[in-house]
Amino acid sequence: MADVKPTRSELIKLKKRIKMAVSGHKLLKKKRDGLILEFFEVLKKAKTARSDLVLAFGVASERIRAARALHMDQDLYSLSLAVKPQQEISMATKNIMGTVVPSISSGGMQRSLAERGYGLLTTSSAVNETAASYEQLTEQVLLVAEVETTIRKLLDEIEKTKRRVNALEFEVIPRMVRTRNHIAFTLEEIERETTFRTKMIKRKLARKAAS
């Protein structure tokens, strides 16, 4: 079976594909770099949030110990049953350079004494301080959950984008360029052969006409 010879239209189509691949490679590199910048910004927030969480946990632990020193555990348990439920936590999403990450909204965990629902006259400041500290701790837990989930999703997207960039840069585009060069070289050879044959035919015709 004879080899299928490449055509000029195939070369033109391949050049367009290479141009699109190069353009896509540039866009992906910009996306990768942008995601990395966003990642480090969120990482700063995560470090601060994690540090604040540790502090909030320490404060809450101290205050619950102080409350237990003043009240019996059964009394604290009874008060906890009287506490009104917290506001619902709503989950939404936001987009960071094409990456969908969580957005957690609690409407604010901090409440006034009256909003908590237990009797003000039957409690001490230690109980109120404990409740406030755990409300603050809950807010911090939600913040840490949001930023750390965002970090994981950004890392995943960065890795995916890096793989696509590398595939285009080191595999796809070089392979297409080699194919383009081969087709261009083959077409040039065909054109040279065609030109040579045309000249030979003209010479033969000229000799015949002269004889």
For residue range 159-178, list pLDDT tens digits in order.
Answer: 999 999 999 999 999 999 99
Q: Are 63 and 125 in contact (CB under 8 A)?
A: no
Sign of CA dihedral 141, 142, 147, 153: positive
Structure tokens of 78?
């009874």
How would residue 1 be classed by pLDDT, with cut points 50, 70 and 90? very low
What pLDDT is stored for residue 178 in this prediction?
Answer: 95
User: Helix 125-167 and helix 8-70: axis angle, to 10°?
Assistant: 160
Per-residue pLDDT, 92 = 86
Give the pLDDT of residue 121: 55
* Mean pLDDT over the full length of the chain: 87
**Given this structure, which CATH class describes domain 8-210?**
mainly alpha
Q: What is the pTM of this model?
A: 0.76
Q: Does residue 96 or residue 26 have the better pLDDT? A: 26
